[in-house]
Amino acid sequence: MRHRPEADLDQIWYRASTLVEHGAKPSDACHRAGIGGSGLARLDRWGDCWVELLDGIQGKTALIVDDFPGLAVARLSVAGATVTVADDVAGRAQFRRVMPGAEAEVVPLASLSLPGRSWDLVVFGPFTSGRSTADLQVAARAVSADGRLVIVTDNLLSPLRALDRLMHRPTAATGALSMAQAMRHANRSGFCYHQGFALLRSSLAPVAAFDVNAPAAARAVLEASATFKNRGRLVATRALARLVELGVAHWVVPAWMGILGCTPAQVDHMRVTGRIGILNSEDPSRLVRGEPPAVIDKRYRSREDADAEWVALRELESVGVAVAPRAIERLGTTANRLSWMPGTSLNLSEMCDDALLKWMEKAGELLGMVHQATARPDGSSLVHGDFALTNCLAEGDRLVGIIDWSTATRGLPIRDLDYLVSTASVAQSRPNLAEALDEAARRGYERSSERRKLSR
């Protein structure tokens, strides 16, 4: 790669950039354009999982010190930061061209010591392979007086990492610096500790992060982000949710992100505490704020999804139905700030038949209450659009909430009831229970209607 003429390199990266702009993943685009290397498989999975935890970067200048800056370059640029990538390897120095929308300047690492140059945000990324503490010291000196230093690194000793290796799943390569080394060096350089985030950056789990100094919020993040696709990983993630309250989670998590500054930390009650709901890069993300959890900043696939949830939640609040999050603030065309809903999602795969029938009846009753409260003379009601037990929250033996209203619209109530039954029977491979599930859901639904009539 390094021995090719510069003009040839330009053509290769241009082809890769064009492929990305037409929808290809960065790693696929690089491969198809003729760029090889073992690092390419890491670009899509690991490159940007920490980016959304960096608040307040609008109008800021950001420096990323990383061999593989990945999608973080583009996402930080879109968020309003002027991004610089520090990389002194000739071939990789042009990597940022693959990222559409990134206005990034590429400079060699040695130039960071030039007088008069500083950044509001300096990120020492997870792919800084071969870097030394001396490089970190150079980057640390480039932080402005009121700026922040962010260090992202992997934990090879994590049991969750070991589980990935035992299952022969790909994991990220680690840098030369451990988090402990990096934090010690940063402290000696005069930096103050602000926040420490534990990162679940794994091939088997959603991308999630939590502030280790916010145990209640951390547990909520972990409980919400545990995936049911792999039994062993699910158990491990839920066990980690308990460990955060014991203060030993830092030995378990696969990766870390440390945030430091030149001045003492000013952390208020609205601090960001975690990110949940990431099953793949296209899914909406939620940033949890507060300790204990107070609100979430939720991003959506499209403006239509953001509008739909906002309108639905405002209508539910107007009719006094407190079974969904409150709509607090519009954060843009594809983001809303919502109140945090307590409770845990139901795991249908672990339920016996009797328990499933019980929850179906409760879900039917809750759904009936929503439809009755939002009914109009034309026969329409507020329809959730994705009403399944997995979108219901439970506390003990009660259903206490319904989440994910981004597909809500006005329509015939029967749509939600039919969808509830079909997802519980087909998705869980229980077609033999279809009739009983339907009867249980309708029994609860009709009971809700009767209660509504008696209350009038």
Residue 281 lies in a domain: no
Do both 414 and 386 map to the same domain?
yes
Do both 349 and 266 map to the same domain?
no
The Cα–Cα gap between 174 and 68 comes to 12
Do both 220 and 322 map to the same domain?
no
Do both 104 and 156 map to the same domain?
yes
Do both 312 and 200 map to the same domain?
no
Q: Please report, for the domain that includes residue 418, its CATH number.
A: 1.10.510.10
Residue 30 lies in a domain: no
Residue 147 lies in a domain: yes
Do both 242 and 376 map to the same domain?
no
pLDDT at 301: 82
Do both 202 and 323 map to the same domain?
no
pLDDT at 40: 52
Do both 324 and 358 map to the same domain?
yes
Q: Per-residue pLDDT tens for 8-23? A: 545 665 676 567 656 6
42-59 as b/e: b if 16+ CB within 10 A: bbbbbbbbbbbbbeebee
Residue 2 lies in a domain: no
The Cα–Cα gap between 363 and 113 comes to 62
Q: Please report, for the domain that includes residue 246, its CATH number.
A: 3.40.50.150
Residue 374 lies in a domain: yes
pLDDT at 363: 95
Single out the residue in 224, 240, 275 at which a domain terminates: 275
Beta-carbon contacts of residue 396 (< 8 Å; ≥ 6 apart): none
Residue 15 lies in a domain: no
Hey, what are 231's tokens?
């039994």
Nearest CA to 444 out of 392, 378, 395 is that of 392
Tally the C-alpha atoms within 13 A of residue 377's C-alpha that lie toward its C-beta.
0
Single out the residue in 243, 275, 307 at which a domain terminates: 275
Do both 271 and 315 map to the same domain?
no
Query: How many H-runs (helices) and E-runs (strands) does the chain carry?
Result: 13, 18
pLDDT at 303: 92
Q: Per-residue pLDDT tens for 238-253? A: 788 888 878 777 777 8
Do both 154 and 107 map to the same domain?
yes
Alpha-helical (H) ranges within 338-433 are 353-373, 414-426
Name the domain count of the chain: 2
The Cα–Cα gap between 392 and 347 comes to 10
Do both 360 and 428 map to the same domain?
yes
Single out the residue in 213, 242, 275 at which a domain terminates: 275
Output the pTM of the full model.
0.78
Q: How do the pLDDT tens digits run along the chain, 456 residues long? A: 333 444 454 566 567 656 765 667 666 776 777 765 544 554 554 556 677 788 777 788 888 776 655 556 666 766 777 777 776 544 444 444 444 455 666 676 667 766 667 888 888 876 665 556 777 777 777 888 888 888 888 777 777 777 766 765 555 444 446 777 777 888 887 888 888 898 876 655 567 888 888 888 988 888 777 655 566 667 777 788 888 878 777 777 888 888 888 888 776 667 888 888 755 545 667 889 998 899 999 988 889 999 999 999 999 999 999 999 999 999 888 899 999 998 887 877 778 888 989 999 999 999 999 999 999 999 999 999 999 998 999 998 999 999 999 999 999 999 999 999 888 876 556 667 888 889 999 999 998 876 655 454
pLDDT at 409: 96
pLDDT at 51: 78
Residue 16 lies in a domain: no
Residue 285 lies in a domain: no
Q: Phi and psi at residue 255, in whole multiples of 5°?
A: -155, 165
Do both 224 and 121 map to the same domain?
yes
Angle at the Cα of 66 (from 63 to 72), degrees rounded to 5? 65
Q: Domain limits at 312? A: 294-456
